[in-house]
Amino acid sequence: MSSHDFIVIGAGIAGASAAFELQRYGSTVLLEREPLPGHHTTGRSAAFLVESYGGPVVGRLTRGGRSFLEEPPGDFASIPLVTPRPVLWIGREDQRESLATALTEGRAAGAELRELEPDAARELCPALRKDYVAGAVAEPGALHIDVAGLLDAYLHGFRERGGEIATKALATRIQRSGESWEVDAGGRRYRGATVINAAGAWCDEVGRLAGARPLGLQPLRRTAITFDPPPGQAIGAWPCVIDADEDFYLKPEGHLLLASPCDETPSEPCDASAEDYEVALAAERVQRATTVGISHIRHRWAGLRSFVADRAPVIGGDPECEGFFWLAGQGGFGIMTSPAAARSTAELIVHGTLPGDLLALGLTAELLSPERLRSGS
């Protein structure tokens, strides 16, 4: 049996970043069920930092981690983790109300947004159809995130700090023993004072294994495709285009274009794959809004985005299960919120409070706690 202060279950971006921060305070082991970290949602994410996305709690977490991504500390990363990529919310005539809501809610979340006329929107993305776009809202400060680079940096930094990573380590037993927890995973037994449940779509399953009440987490499948841009068009400066009702998004991805129909199909936790219907839907919606012709799909895939009822992340200790900490429900914003979520995890566990800079943004432990989901239940 190996003994640690902290046992983190799940080595996607949530678990890897939390383990990196926790290793400052004590011995941490990171357990991953798959052969490689980041196999599921993290490895399939088309991540960008958009402060107008996800609501007030997500917006505050995003702003709270932005400086870390823009200027990582010391030798954390050998390459830039973010590059500028403006976001352009677009709406048809019948979507003006949705566009106004996106503007109001985005500004309420603290994002700097600009209203644009259709011609100005088409200057940013010339492929937009004139008869489709009636209005637009731009977030000029949005960023593309190098997901693989960020995950690798967290894992490398964790190892450099002396942390241990175990892969092919599916947790099969989690049991309280005195003032500690015992976790059986990958043929080994681990003992630790605190278990951090960062298992993504499997968080409720891990919670049940530990005797904790589930959060009601719902994994939702999301599809993405890549395809060639129009011949002769320079797409490098195109923004990420998002439909006002989130019916699709379109963005440059290297020399290709990436699109999603923004589907949210309920799923059991699994190794998700793209379905033909959603692939066709992505292509149809892009071609309806733009002059981009899609004759061949280069790549297709899907991932699971997991939400609780209020669609805000869950970061906090279980009120009924001492030493069991939830880091769950990251939905479609786990990458951009990971720096702040990881620091929140470490500070809540070690000091019982959120970092001061996040408190100053209006975040509270109560807004993140799993207890909010159980009130009145």
**Strand 265-266, strand 218-227: pairing:** antiparallel
d(CA 81, CA 21): 18
For residue range 62-77, list pLDDT tens digits in order: 999 999 999 999 889 9
Q: pLDDT at residue 109 above 90?
A: no
Q: pLDDT at residue 369 above 80?
A: yes
CA nearest 134: which of 115, 110, 109, 162? 115
Check residues 43 and 356 and name the one with the higher pLDDT: 356
Residue 174 near residue 183 (C-beta atoms within 8 A): yes
Give 203's Cβ-side CA count (13 Å radius): 34
Residue 303 near residue 44 (C-beta atoms within 8 A): yes
d(CA 31, CA 174): 13
Largest CA distance in the chain: 67
Q: pLDDT at residue 375 above 70?
A: no
Phi, psi of 274 (to 5 degrees): -75, 140
Residue 118 near residue 87 (C-beta atoms within 8 A): no
Q: pLDDT at residue 250 above 50?
A: yes
For residue range 127-174, list pLDDT tens digits in order: 999 999 999 999 999 999 999 999 999 999 999 999 999 999 999 999
| Residues ≥6 apart with Cβ < 8 Å to 43 | 12, 147, 148, 151, 303
d(CA 265, CA 305): 10
Scan for tokens 């917006």, then name that residue. Answer: 59
pLDDT for 377: 47
**Strand 240-243, strand 249-253: pairing:** antiparallel
* Mean pLDDT value across the chain: 95
For residue range 2-60, list pLDDT tens digits in order: 999 999 999 999 999 999 999 999 999 999 999 999 776 555 676 889 999 999 999 99
- Domains of the chain are 2-58+147-216+310-373 (3.50.50.60), 87-140+218-307 (3.30.9.10)
pLDDT for 110: 86
Q: pLDDT at residue 202 above 60?
A: yes
pLDDT for 374: 82
Q: What is the DSSP string of 154-200?
A: HHHHHHHTT-EEESS--EEEEEEETTEEEEEETTEEEEEEEEEE--G
- The mean pLDDT of 93-114, rounded to a whole number, is 94
